[in-house]
Amino acid sequence: MIYITSMDESYESLLHKAYEQVTEPTEETSRWTYPEPRVTIEGKTTILDNFTDIVSAFRRDPDHLMKYILGELGTAGKLDGNRAIFNGKFEESLINAIITSYVSDYITCSECGKPDTHLVKEGRVQILMCDACGSHRPVRKRKARSEPVGANLEVGAIIEVTIENLSRRGDGVAKIGKNIVYVSKSKPGQTLKVKIVRISGSIIFTERP
């Protein structure tokens, strides 16, 4: 495994803390988790209070996660101690969804679902290597931001989605373009028709019709 040495010590304790913080009952107790993002609004900025805890649990470069979140939010921001500060007001659910999306793109193995992975560069392509099962895949190419929400994506519309993974709250997560779709009571691999009940930025909340 490749670790950043300075994070090595704190990783174990952070992971331990992360497990302690899990209060929701989960069927698979071994499911990897990370600290729940704590998001507050201060004036015209949005604060992610425990950015450092989260990125330590991820064992990834803080700048990498920060750039990813800023890119998804389409805003500027800075790191301040343990906190990340984003210009503008963003809903907690949006920050949560972006972090969930980062995890599925850059951390969890798509074969075995474990987070014991590291990134390597092969030419211009980033590869996610799994230390647990040995499989590897190219990191998903992100589509450019500012792709408008399609005309058919509006409240009340019925859309068909395929669940890719689960959010840390246990909701199914699907993607349409750059949009993240939440579907409760669903499982990865399922394809189902859902009704859009709310749209918040690139996050789409749905219910089963």
Contact residues for Zn ion, defined by CB under 5 A: 109, 111-112, 130, 132-133, 135
The DSSP annotation for 161-183 comes to EE--EE-TTS-EEEEETTEEEEE
Q: Which pair of tokens denotes residue 185?
A: 């009571």
Residue 97, φ and ψ in degrees, nearest 5: -65, -40
* DSSP letter (8 states) at residue 141: P
Closer to Zn ion by Cβ: residue 66 or 109: 109
Helix, strand, or coil (residue 186): coil
Closer to Zn ion by Cβ: residue 17 or 136: 136
State in angstroms the smallest separation of the CB of 32 from Zn ion. 12
Closer to Zn ion by Cβ: residue 132 or 153: 132
State in angstroms the smallest separation of the CB of 112 from Zn ion. 3
Q: Which pair of tokens denotes residue 82?
A: 């343990």
Closer to Zn ion by Cβ: residue 119 or 132: 132
State in angstroms the smallest separation of the CB of 35 from Zn ion. 23
Question: 172-176 and 165-166 as β-strands: parallel, antiparallel, unpaired?
Answer: antiparallel
State in angstroms the smallest separation of the CB of 196 from Zn ion. 33
